[in-house]
Amino acid sequence: MKERKSIFLVVNVDWFFLSHRLSLANFLRKEGYNVAVLCNDTGKMEIIRNQGFECFNINFGRGINGGFSEIYSFIQLIWHFITKRPSIVHNFGLKVITISSLAARITKVPKVINTFTGLGMQFMHPGDNFTKRILRFSLKHDLKDSNIVLQFQNNDDLAEIKLLLGKEGRSDKFVCIDGSGIDLNIYKFHALPSNPVPRFLFASRLLKSKGTLLFLEAAKSILSENIKAEFVVFGDIDKENSDSVEESDLLKFKDISGLKILGHTNQLMNEIISSHIVVLPSKYREGIPKVLIEACAIGRPIITTNSFGCREAVNNDLNGVLLNNCEVEDLVNAMRLMIQNIGTLPEMGKESHLLAENRFDERIIFKKTVEMYQ
C-alpha cells in the first residue's frame, strides 16, 4: 500500500484556519493526505480537533518585530518538524512564512509551500522597513532551495516580491492561484432580494485601511440626501491593531436611520444573500478578499477599489465598479450610480457568479494547490 503523505498546514491563528483553510484541509484528507494544523490557539482549536485533524499550538504573536514570541514559535516549529517529520509544510501569511520556512529548511522538510495571503500593512507604504528586510533575507535563502515554492493570490503581490528580491526574483518557483477558493455547492447563486430598497453590505475587520470609515461616511452622505437605501456593517474592532477604528469612531454613526453597525456575524452568507451590493473600499494589501469571492459566488454586484487583490474580483462596469480614487465622494458616486440603475443589478450579479465559476471555484484552486505538492 502506498504510504500516505503527511502535510502540516501552518497558519497564524485557529479562527483563520476555520474561516479560510478548513475546506482545503478536508479536500486534502479526501485525497489521501494525513493533515495536521499548526496555529495559535485563541479558543477555537478544539473545534479543529473535532473536525478530525491533529492540531498543535504555536505561539505566533502579532506582527514581525524580532521579539521573544518569534524565537519561541520558531523553536516550537523546529521541534514539531523534527518529531513529526511531515512530508510537506504549507505556510500561510507573511509572519508564518518568515518563521516557518526557515524552520522547515533547517529540519530538511522535503517540500515547502509559502502562500502569500496578501502583503498587509507593511507593504502599503514605499521604502524599506524591518518586515521587508527580514522577508527579503528569508526569501533569498528560500529560492536557493529547490523544494520551496512561493505562491501568490494576485499578480501584484508576485511582482512586488520579485521587485523586493532584485535579481534573485527571476525564478520559476513563483505560482499565482486565485485566492482561497469557494465551495459553489454551498455558496450558490441567489437572485437579488425582492425588496426595492437597495441594501449595501460592508463586512471586514474594522480597520481604517479596509475602508470602514469611508463606507460609513459615504452611507451618511447618501442617507442625508433622503435617498431610500440601507447600509449594514459587519465586523469587529481589532484592539491589537493600530489601524483599527475605535468605539468612539463608530458612535458618530450610531443614530443614523438606515445605517446599522452590527458587529461580528456567523451568518455572513445569509447577510450577503439579503443584500443587493457588497462594498469593500479597501486600501489594504489584500490577497483576494474572501468576502468579495463570496459575493461573486452568491451573485452580487461589487463596489471595491482598483487596488491589490480587490481588482481581481471585479470586471469594471460588468459585475461591479472599481474605484480608482478611494475618497468618500468617489464611493458616494458609485453607490448613487447603482441606486439610479438598480435595474442593471441582476445582470451584474450573474456576471459575478460567472466570475466565481471560472476563477474562484475551490475545485480549480485545490487542483492547482495539489499540483504544487508534487
pLDDT the model gives residue 143: 67
Cα dihedral 215/221/226/230 (nearest 10): 10
pLDDT of the chain along its 374 residues, tens only?
A: 456 799 999 999 999 999 999 999 999 999 999 999 999 999 999 999 999 999 999 998 765 555 677 889 999 999 999 999 999 999 999 889 888 998 999 999 999 999 998 876 666 566 666 666 777 777 777 766 678 899 999 998 888 888 777 766 667 788 999 999 999 999 999 999 999 999 999 999 999 999 999 999 999 999 999 999 999 999 999 888 889 999 999 999 989 999 999 999 999 999 999 999 999 999 888 899 999 999 999 999 999 999 989 999 999 889 999 999 889 999 999 999 999 999 999 999 999 999 999 999 999 999 999 999 98
- Which domains occur in the chain, in start order? 6-176 (3.40.50.2000), 199-359 (3.40.50.2000)
Give helix 22-30 / helix 362-373 axis angle, nearest 10°. Answer: 60
CA distance 84 to 137: 27
What is the pLDDT, as a whole number, of residue 1? 43
Give 166's DSSP letter.
G
How far is residue 324's CA from residue 341's CA, in Å, rounded to a whole number? Answer: 20
DSSP readout, 191-244?
PPPS-SS-EEEEES--BTTTTHHHHHHHHHHHHHTT---EEEEE----TT-TTB
Q: Model-level pTM? A: 0.90
Coil, strand, or helix at residue 151? strand
What integer pLDDT is reported at residue 130 of this predicted model? Answer: 63
Burial 217-230 (b: 16+ CB within 10 A, else e): bbbbbbbeeeeebb
Four-residue CA torsion sign, 200, 205, 209, 213: positive
For residue 162, what pLDDT is reported? 83
Contacts (Cβ under 8 Å, ≥6 apart) of 263: 234, 235, 236
pLDDT at res. 165:
74
pLDDT (0 to 100) of residue 202: 98
Distances (CA, A) of 60 to 8, 40, 259, 370: 16, 6, 36, 26
Please answer whether residues 289 and 313 qualify as being in contact, where contact means their C-beta atoms are separated by less than 8 angstroms: yes
For residue 326, the model assigns a pLDDT of 82
pLDDT (0 to 100) of residue 241: 84
Nearest-angstrom CA–CA distance, 276 and 274: 7
The whole-angstrom separation of Cα 305 and Cα 280 is 7
3-state secondary structure of 323: strand
Considering only the C-alpha atoms of the chain, give the largest distance between any 2 of them, rounded to a whole number of Å: 70
Q: Which of 309, 235, 310, 229 is nearest to 276 (CA)?
A: 229
